[in-house]
């Protein structure tokens, strides 16, 4: 494999909604670069990208696929990404190592779900976008409609580089207003003829050329002066302005394409090479904010943006060379672990095809195999550098489900597979909840999780069940209560005896403990001798006071009483959920000179706490999440109505580029399968994020239902 200098490398990510034609376009780009000598099709399941069995079944991209092609003495690294929001993790990781995006729009539909979602992600990641209107050869292609939808979405940034003379079955060329030429395609293998613009198109082409020149000039003062002086710009001058405008996210050039018939693909590749940012014009930041230039003469460093397990190869680590150069057999150090890693082989990647390379220069993207302990988001350095590049920030989960193996002995195997799945796709998250006694699997949507389920069932032959996860409720109290409990057991020989009297009250932030209480009309004054305070692992506090006088309970039994109370807080008296924010005063009790022991007082303390808790105005608290929904205006009513049915508290609304932003607080219990419902309500056009906010008391009717359900389950068990 030829070694390319940094300035001759371009890194792009292919974006767009499902069925926009990204994979077919990528196939044609590889064909034009002679990386493949025959183009496959999605329908025949023969494309270089979309090579996983599950992708071929669904006939759509599910995983980001690294590809490369060679053209005009340049190497183009291309990452073909999924078109569904459920697989947004692959898009985000691709943006980390690519320098520009090519957004593909289906000429039949114009701007779709994926277009909007991924354009927002590009803006967030500060990556310039080139727009390609694809499938102009389709009988329902609508160039004007697609262009108008782009202008409505992206505004004045959109500028036409090419436009078709005809669309549909007759689409066989376009007019290029940058080069002021017409391109006619003689066959479906990219054979093109450059022609003068026909007379009947001259005026429209001249008008669009003038708009293009003016937009290019606006990005540079010297170009603007030239434009004012001459009234026009030369082709290379326009390119210079476009280069600046693209890098500053001020311009989004539009191209005409048929990936299937290889129309316009070469011109798009030429434009990427001439105008899209070269890696040496980009900056990469370390975790501490330091900027590291993408310099081939710098210290060797690579960033691992993705890991995968491939048959016959084992674990594959995909990387970008951030600085310097790397060579086969080179040793690098992982600064996070201190371990040395050898690059036994380095490869240029075109899907499953791996082309060995002796070295790679700063800015290039490739892969290596069989590293000892390197994960996604880690850096490897040479020359004693301690560089750690900024990690990829993946979005929080939107969909939760509980998972278990149908056969108990398969649980360990299931855990191993799920951990491996997380390593390959960090947006898949796995957590065993000791509280809920469930393994919770989280992802970006129901389809995301169903793909994982398919792999578990078909690839790993593991039968599993998915079911709604329990909700991590909390239990607390709202008033003062007292209780006493005597534990007595006699069964021959030494017996058991312990009696404990306690008072409990809620812990309120900023309110100190009092020693005077009125309980059942009687005044109770306590002697606060000793205090222990605990911050619970699950949130909230326990304050424990020793108020024993006259030696009613020996001091050596006080830790046992505390232990019993702690046990009951870990399995709350109402629903078995964790209890929190409670102040406990142990103020009286009785001992037996022979039969009293630690177990007796532990059980007495546990049961006294349970009795007092039930009399202290107990309340169940539920987790509340902040959610932010980005929704098209025409779907706003349906989305808001659905949220209100989920006990949501609407907190605000605003607008963002043609979308409404709806902010609300919603109980977690009401968010089961919300991503699926939202997609259904908006035809997949809305997206949302959810983050934990706080715990709040559940409404009385919800509490009654939870208590009845718990009591019913308790009886069954």
Q: Which of 400, 471, 398 shows the shortest CA–CA distance to 678? A: 398
CB-side exposure of 249: number of CA atoms within 13 Å? Answer: 12
Q: Which of 654, 662, 667 shows the shortest CA–CA distance to 693? A: 667
- Beta carbons of 305 and 97 less than 8 angstroms apart: yes
CA distances from 621 to 477, 574, 618 (A): 10, 11, 10
CA-atom Rg of the chain in angstroms: 33
Q: Which of 660, 671, 661 shows the shortest CA–CA distance to 693? A: 671
Q: Which of 306, 332, 308 shows the shortest CA–CA distance to 319? A: 306
- Beta carbons of 105 and 401 less than 8 angstroms apart: no
For every residue of 559-601, DSSP letters joined together read HHHHHHHHHHHHS-TTTSPEE-SEEEEEEEEE--TTT--HHHH
Distance CA 564, CA 485 (A): 12
- Beta carbons of 265 and 192 less than 8 angstroms apart: no
For every residue of 626-673, DSSP letters joined together read EEEEEEEGGGHHHHHHHHHHTT-EEEEEEEETTEEEEEEEEEGGG-TT
Q: What are phi and psi of 372, to 5 degrees?
A: -75, -50
CA distances from 383 to 101, 202, 333, 380 (A): 33, 59, 9, 10
pLDDT band at 658 (very low <50, low <70, confident <90, very high): low
Copy the structure tokens of residue 360.
């790679």
> In sequence order, what are the residues at sequence separation of 6 or more whose Cβ sits closer than 8 angstroms to the Cβ of residue 208?
160, 163, 177
Other CB atoms within 10 A of residue 190 CB: 16
Three-state DSSP string of 118-152? HHHHHHHCCCCEEEEEECCCCCCCCHHHHHHHHHH
Q: Has residue 716 got a pLDDT over 70?
A: no
Q: Which residues pair with 502 in a beta bridge?
A: 483, 586
Q: What does the mean pLDDT of the chain come to?
A: 94
Q: What are phi and psi of 19, to 5 degrees?
A: 70, 20
- Average the pLDDT over 385-393 and give the result: 96
pLDDT band at 712 (very low <50, low <70, confident <90, very high): confident
- List pLDDT tens digits, range 18-30: 889 999 999 999 9
For every residue of 35-97, DSSP letters joined together read S-SS---TTTT--SSS-SHHHHHHTS--S-EEEEEEETTEEEEEEE--SSGGGHHHHHHHHHH
Enumerate the H helices of 294-445 as residue ranges.
Answer: 411-424
Q: Which of 262, 395, 347, 428 shows the shortest CA–CA distance to 77? A: 347
Q: Has residue 698 got a pLDDT over 60?
A: yes
Instruction: Look at residue 313 in the predicted model and tell me its pLDDT.
Output: 86
- List pLDDT tens digits, range 407-452: 999 999 999 999 999 999 999 999 999 889 999 999 999 999 999 9
Q: What is the helix, strand, coil percentage profile of the chain, to 5?
A: 30, 35, 35
- Beta carbons of 134 and 257 less than 8 angstroms apart: yes
> In sequence order, what are the residues at sequence separation of 6 or more whose Cβ sits closer than 8 angstroms to the Cβ of residue 229?
none
- Average the pLDDT over 133-141 and give the result: 96
Q: Which helix (H) or strand (E) holds 308?
A: strand 301-310
CB-side exposure of 276: number of CA atoms within 13 Å? Answer: 29
Distance CA 695, CA 472 (A): 10
- List pLDDT tens digits, range 599-617: 999 999 999 999 999 999 9
CA distances from 408 to 43, 273, 460 (A): 40, 56, 16
Q: Has residue 191 got a pLDDT over 50?
A: yes
Instruction: Look at residue 492 in the predicted model and tell me its pLDDT.
Output: 67
Copy the structure tokens of residue 14.
């292919």
* Total residues found in the chain within this entry: 717
Q: What domains are defined for the chain?
A: 6-200+245-283 (3.40.50.300), 295-381 (2.40.30.10), 399-470 (3.30.70.870), 475-617 (3.30.230.10), 620-702 (3.30.70.240)
Q: Has residue 657 got a pLDDT over 70?
A: no
Q: Which of 469, 471, 470 shows the shortest CA–CA distance to 402? A: 469
Copy the structure tokens of residue 402.
């509980």
CA distances from 527 to 265, 360, 463 (A): 85, 75, 60
pLDDT band at 717 (very low <50, low <70, confident <90, very high): very low
Copy the structure tokens of residue 497.
């005896």
pLDDT over 70, % of the chain: 99
Sign of CA dihedral 28, 34, 35, 40: positive
Q: Which helix (H) or strand (E) holds 610?
A: helix 598-615
241 by DSSP, 3-state: which?
Answer: helix
- Average the pLDDT over 459-478 and give the result: 95
Secondary structure letter of residue 280 according to DSSP:
G
Q: Which residue in this structure is represented by tokens 């311009």?
A: 251
Pairing of strands 129-134, 252-256: parallel
Pairing of strands 429-433, 379-381: unpaired
Q: Which residue in this structure is represented by tokens 């669009």?
A: 208
Copy the structure tokens of residue 505.
């009250």
The order of strands in the sheet holding 162-164 is: 162-164, 173-176, 181-185, 192-195
- Average the pLDDT over 495-504 and give the result: 95
Distance CA 563, CA 605 (A): 8
Distance CA 332, CA 380 (A): 6
108 by DSSP, 3-state: which?
Answer: coil
Three-state DSSP string of 515-540? CEEEECCEEEECCCCEEEEEECCCCC
Which of left, alpha, beta for 338 (phi over 0: left; psi -120 to 50: alpha)? left
Q: Which residue in this structure is represented by tokens 């998250």?
A: 429
Secondary structure letter of residue 80 according to DSSP:
E
pLDDT band at 283 (very low <50, low <70, confident <90, very high): confident
Q: Which residue has the higher pLDDT, 76 or 490?
A: 76
- Beta carbons of 567 and 462 less than 8 angstroms apart: no
- Beta carbons of 210 and 189 less than 8 angstroms apart: no
- List pLDDT tens digits, range 324-370: 999 999 999 999 999 999 999 999 999 999 999 999 999 999 999 99
Q: Has residue 684 got a pLDDT over 90?
A: no
């Amino acid at each position: 494999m030829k070694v390319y200098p940094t300035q001759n490398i371009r890194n792009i990510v292919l974006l767009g909604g499902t069925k926009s034609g990204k994979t077919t376009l990528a196939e044609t780009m590889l064909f034009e670069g002679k990386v493949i000598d025959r183009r496959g099709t999605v329908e025949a399941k023969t494309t270089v990208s979309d090579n996983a069995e599950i992708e071929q079944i669904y006939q759509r991209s599910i995983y980001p696929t690294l590809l490369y092609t060679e053209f005009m003495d340049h190497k183009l690294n291309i990452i073909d990404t999924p078109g569904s929001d459920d697989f947004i993790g692959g898009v985000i990781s691709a943006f980390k190592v690519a320098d520009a995006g090519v957004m593909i729009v289906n000429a039949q539909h114009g701007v779709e779900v994926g277009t909007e979602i991924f354009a927002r992600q590009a803006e967030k990641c500060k990556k310039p976008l080139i727009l390609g209107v694809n499938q102009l050869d389709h009988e329902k292609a609508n160039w004007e409609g697609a262009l108008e939808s782009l202008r409505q979405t992206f505004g004045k940034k959109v500028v036409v580089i090419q436009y078709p003379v005809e669309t549909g079955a007759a689409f066989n060329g376009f007019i290029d207003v940058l080069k002021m030429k017409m391109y006619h395609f003689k066959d479906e293998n990219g054979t093109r003829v450059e022609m003068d613009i026909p007379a009947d198109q001259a005026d429209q082409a001249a008008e669009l050329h003038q708009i293009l020149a003016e937009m290019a000039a606006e990005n540079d003062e010297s170009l603007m002066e030239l434009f004012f002086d001459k009234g026009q710009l030369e082709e290379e001058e326009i390119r210079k302005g476009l280069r600046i405008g693209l890098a500053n996210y001020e311009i989004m050039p539009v191209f005409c394409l048929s990936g299937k018939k290889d129309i316009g693909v070469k011109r798009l590749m030429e434009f990427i090479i001439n105008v899209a940012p070269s890696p040496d014009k980009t900056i990469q930041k370390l975790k501490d904010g330091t900027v590291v230039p993408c310099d081939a003469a710098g210290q060797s460093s690579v960033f691992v943006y993705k890991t995968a397990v491939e048959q016959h190869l084992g674990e594959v680590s995909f990387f970008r060379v951030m600085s310097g150069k790397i060579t086969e057999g080179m040793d690098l150090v992982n600064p996070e672990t201190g371990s040395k890693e050898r690059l036994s082989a380095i490869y240029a990647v075109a899907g499953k095809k791996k082309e060995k390379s002796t070295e790679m220069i700063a800015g290039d993207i490739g892969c290596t195999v069989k590293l000892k302990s390197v994960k996604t988001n880690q850096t490897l350095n040479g020359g004693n550098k301690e560089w750690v590049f900024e990690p990829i920030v993946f979005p929080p989960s939107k969909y939760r489900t509980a998972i278990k193996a149908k056969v108990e002995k398969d649980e360990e195997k299931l855990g191993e597979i799920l951990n491996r799945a997380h390593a390959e796709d960090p947006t898949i998250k796995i957590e065993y909840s000791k509280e809920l006694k469930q393994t919770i699997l989280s992802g970006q949507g129901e389809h995301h999780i169903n793909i994982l389920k398919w792999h578990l069932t078909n690839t790993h032959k593991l039968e599993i069940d998915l079911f709604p996860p329990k909700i991590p409720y909390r239990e607390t109290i709202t008033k003062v209560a007292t209780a006493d409990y005597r534990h007595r057991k006699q069964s021959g020989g030494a017996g058991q005896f312990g009696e404990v009297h306690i008072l409990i009250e809620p812990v309120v932030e900023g309110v100190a403990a009092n020693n005077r209480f009125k309980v059942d009309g009687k005044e109770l004054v306590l002697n606060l001798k000793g205090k222990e305070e605990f911050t619970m692992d699950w949130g909230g506090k326990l304050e424990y006071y020793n108020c024993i006088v006259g030696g009613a309970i020996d001091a050596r039994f006080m830790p046992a009483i505390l232990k019993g109370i702690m046990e009951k807080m870990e399995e709350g008296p109402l629903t078995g959920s964790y209890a929190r924010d409670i102040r406990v005063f142990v103020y009286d009790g009785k001992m037996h000179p022979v039969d009293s022991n630690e177990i007796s007082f532990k059980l007495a303390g546990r049961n006294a706490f349970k009795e007092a808790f039930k009399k202290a105005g107990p309340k169940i608290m539920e987790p509340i999440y902040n959610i932010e929904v980005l929704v098209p205006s025409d779907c706003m009513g349906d989305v808001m109505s659905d949220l209100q049915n989920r006990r949501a508290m609407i907190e605000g609304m605003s607008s963002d580029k043609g979308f409404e932003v709806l902010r609300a607080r919603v109980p977690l219990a009401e968010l089961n399968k919300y991503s699926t419902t939202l997609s259904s309500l908006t035809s997949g056009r809305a997206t949302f994020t959810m983050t934990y906010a706080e715990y709040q008391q559940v409404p009385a009717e919800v509490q009654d239902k939870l208590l009845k359900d718990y009591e019913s389950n308790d009886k069954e068990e």
